[in-house]
């Protein structure tokens, strides 16, 4: 169990005489290249990778088999039924799209704020964003039922002489999520070009040399190229920053614009964005703690990186807790009996256990991060992060399903029960996510080498 041993150095303290180092001592340009490329170049990955990949790809297979079953049979194989017309499909969609937000926050917002510690984790977090958006996009695409008519979502001249209603939040959603996925992919790929060139120049095999070379586009680190590249990177970061805030705000309008008690509130956009970043950071911690241990990246992804993310979890967790309190207050203060009923129904109704699981996981559990031992102990923080992930999934369930199950017409009230297909597709989406992430770990540079090198003390000339 050498991977559990404490690292030899501690950069989690704040010494007022200087900045804490961002990487383990003794790193230079060559050692960073070596550390990161070794993960991809070693002939076989650690055993844990195979075990994880076998499980994840099996669930991916289950997911796509269930997709075939769903599309060929119809939406009725899910448990959705009036009044709960949106259930696991939309819960999973909002959950996954929220996960993605931490990646963009790390790569874009922290870049604009010149937070240099982002360089060690941004690549993996952006990859997580893209895979999460892919998982997210599948659910609304499947939930429309007739997937072969998906092109109706786009404005194209047609013989029906119809156009999409651009004032509908559901259309905003399509545009926002697809823009977000596209821009995240461009940002991720642009950031990876110099590192792909590194892999190309080190590649031994012909196939590797060809493929890495193809995607590295002939990058040769020219100063004139770097100049435009840095400007493009800054522009993409500046574009992604408002974009990421807009995406979950738009998702929240899917609910807030509706008149259903429990949905119809102006609190939703900031509440959703805070929750998205909260859940996303929890997922980054869940992924990075094992990844840095298994792939020998502890010198680059240090405890300080993890601790910083845990501080984000604590801060956004408090925001989410505040939003829960404000939701109750707004329902009471509105004087609207339906709003108040929806709120009370969450806490003491048939789904009360979901509500209290959500409160425990999202509000109580992150409070442990006030203690430094919890912020800096890898396996403890994973425990909290997993609780947060559970809690954030439950939050979407509470908002969507619990509100719908008891709407305006008491004679229509129904308790929603997921079918085995619902549960299989939830697990399958995790399988897809982890499959893609494991493939990423195996074949692409997990740490942005060029960016880490740029923030090393040597790159600025020590002593200046």
Partner 1 sequence: MIEEPTSTEDKEQAPVVAGLVAEFPSPEALVAAAAKVRDAGYRFWDAHSPFPVHGIERAMGIRPTKLPWLVFAAGGAGAAGALLLQWWTNAVDYPYLVSGKPLFSFPANIPIIFELMVLLSAFAAFGGVLVLNLLPEYRHPAFSVRRFVRATSDGFFISIAASDPKFDAGAARALLESAGAAAIDVCYAPAGVPRLPAGLKWSLAVAGLLALLPPLWIARQRQVPSDTPRLHIIQDMDFQPRYAPQGVGRFFADRRATRPPVPHAVDVGGLQTDSHFHRGQINGQWAATFPIPVDREQMERGRDRYNIYCAPCHGLAGEGDGMTHQRAVTRREPGWVQPRSLHAQNVREQPAGRLFHTITHGLNTMPGYAAQIPAADRWAIVLYVRALQRSQHAALDDVPPELRPALLQESTRP
CB nearer partner 1, residue 243 or residue 309 = 243
CB nearer partner 1, residue 37 or residue 56 = 37
CB nearer partner 1, residue 94 or residue 285 = 94
CB of 241 to partner 1, least distance (A): 10
Phi, psi (degrees; rounded to nearest 5) at 336: -90, 120
Sign, CA torsion 443/446/448/453: negative
CB of 228 to partner 1, least distance (A): 5
The answer to whether 387 and 374 have CB atoms below 8 angstroms apart is no
CB of 88 to partner 1, least distance (A): 25
Which residues 6+ apart lie within 8 Å of 123 measured at CB? 188, 191, 192, 195, 445, 446, 447, 448
Which token pair is 206? 């012909």
How far, in Å, CA of 220 to CA of 198, rounded? 9
CB of 439 to partner 1, least distance (A): 23
CB nearer partner 1, residue 148 or residue 353 = 148
Which residues 6+ apart lie within 8 Å of 102 measured at CB? 125, 128, 129, 276, 277, 279, 280, 281, 283, 284, 312
CB of 29 to partner 1, least distance (A): 4
Chain residues that interact with partner 1, rule: CB under 8 A? 28-30, 33, 146, 148-149, 155, 161-167, 169, 171-172, 175-176, 179, 182-183, 186-187, 189-190, 194, 197-198, 200-202, 206, 213, 217-232, 235-236, 239, 242-243, 246, 250, 253, 449-451, 453-454, 458-461
CB nearer partner 1, residue 158 or residue 337 = 158
CB of 256 to partner 1, least distance (A): 13
Which residues 6+ apart lie within 8 Å of 146 measured at CB? none
CB of 4 to partner 1, least distance (A): 32
Which token pair is 219? 């990058």
Closest CA to 186 of 88, 108, 276, 296: 108
CB nearer partner 1, residue 61 or residue 169 = 169
Which residues 6+ apart lie within 8 Å of 449 measured at CB? 32, 33, 36, 37, 194, 195, 198
CA-CA distances (angstroms) from residue 397 to 91, 175, 198, 203, 236? 6, 24, 44, 47, 33
Cα angle value 387/180/200 (rounded, 5°): 90
How far, in Å, CA of 81 to CA of 414, rounded? 9
CB of 260 to partner 1, least distance (A): 17
CB nearer partner 1, residue 42 or residue 417 = 42
CB nearer partner 1, residue 138 or residue 452 = 452
Which token pair is 438? 């494991």
CB of 217 to partner 1, least distance (A): 4
Largest CA distance in the chain: 76
CB nearer partner 1, residue 299 or residue 451 = 451
């Amino acid at each position: 169990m050498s991977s559990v041993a404490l690292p030899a150095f501690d950069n989690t303290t704040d010494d007022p005489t200087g900045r804490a180092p961002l990487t383990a001592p003794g790193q230079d340009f060559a050692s960073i290249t070596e550390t990161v490329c070794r993960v991809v170049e070693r002939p076989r990955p650690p055993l844990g990778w195979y075990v994880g990949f076998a499980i994840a790809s099996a669930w991916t297979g289950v997911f796509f088999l269930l997709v075939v079953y769903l599309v060929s049979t119809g939406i009725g194989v899910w448990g959705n039924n009036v009044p709960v017309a949106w259930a696991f499909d939309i819960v999973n969609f909002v959950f996954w799209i929220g996960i993605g937000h931490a990646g963009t926050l790390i790569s874009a917002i922290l870049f604009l704020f010149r937070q240099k510690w982002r360089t060690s984790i941004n690549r993996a977090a952006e990859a997580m964003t893209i895979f999460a958006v892919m998982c997210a996009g599948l659910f609304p695409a499947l939930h429309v039922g007739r997937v072969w008519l998906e092109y109706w979502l786009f404005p194209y001249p047609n013989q029906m002489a119809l156009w999409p209603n651009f004032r509908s939040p559901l259309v905003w959603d399509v545009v926002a999520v697809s823009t977000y996925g596209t821009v995240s992919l461009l940002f991720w790929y642009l950031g990876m070009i110099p590192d792909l060139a590194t892999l190309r120049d080190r590649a031994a095999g012909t196939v590797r040399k060809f493929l890495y070379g193809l995607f590295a586009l002939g990058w040769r680190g020219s100063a004139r190229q770097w100049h435009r590249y840095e400007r493009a990177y800054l522009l993409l970061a500046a574009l992604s920053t408002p974009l990421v805030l807009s995406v979950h705000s738009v998702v929240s309008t899917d609910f807030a614009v509706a008149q259903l008690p429990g949905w119809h509130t102006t609190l939703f956009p900031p509440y959703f964005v805070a929750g998205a970043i909260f859940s996303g950071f929890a997922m980054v911690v869940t992924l990075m703690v094992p990844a840095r241990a298994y792939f020998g990246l502890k010198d680059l992804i240090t405890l300080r990186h993890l601790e910083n993310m845990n501080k984000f979890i604590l801060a956004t967790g408090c925001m989410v807790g505040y939003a829960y309190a404000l939701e109750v207050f707004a329902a009471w203060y509105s004087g609207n009996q339906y709003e108040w009923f929806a709120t009370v129904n969450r806490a003491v109704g048939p789904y009360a256990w979901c509500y209290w699981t959500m409160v425990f996981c999202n509000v109580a559990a992150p409070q442990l991060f006030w203690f430094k031992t919890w912020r800096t102990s890898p396996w403890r923080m994973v425990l909290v992060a997993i609780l947060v992930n559970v809690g954030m999934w439950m939050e979407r369930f509470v908002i969507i399903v619990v509100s719908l199950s008891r709407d305006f017409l008491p004679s229509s009230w129904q308790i929603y029960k997921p079918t085995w297909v619902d549960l299989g597709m939830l697990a399958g989406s995790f399988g897809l996510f982890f499959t893609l992430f494991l493939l990423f770990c195996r074949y692409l540079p997990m740490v942005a080498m060029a960016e880490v090198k740029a923030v090393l003390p040597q790159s600025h000339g020590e002593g200046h």
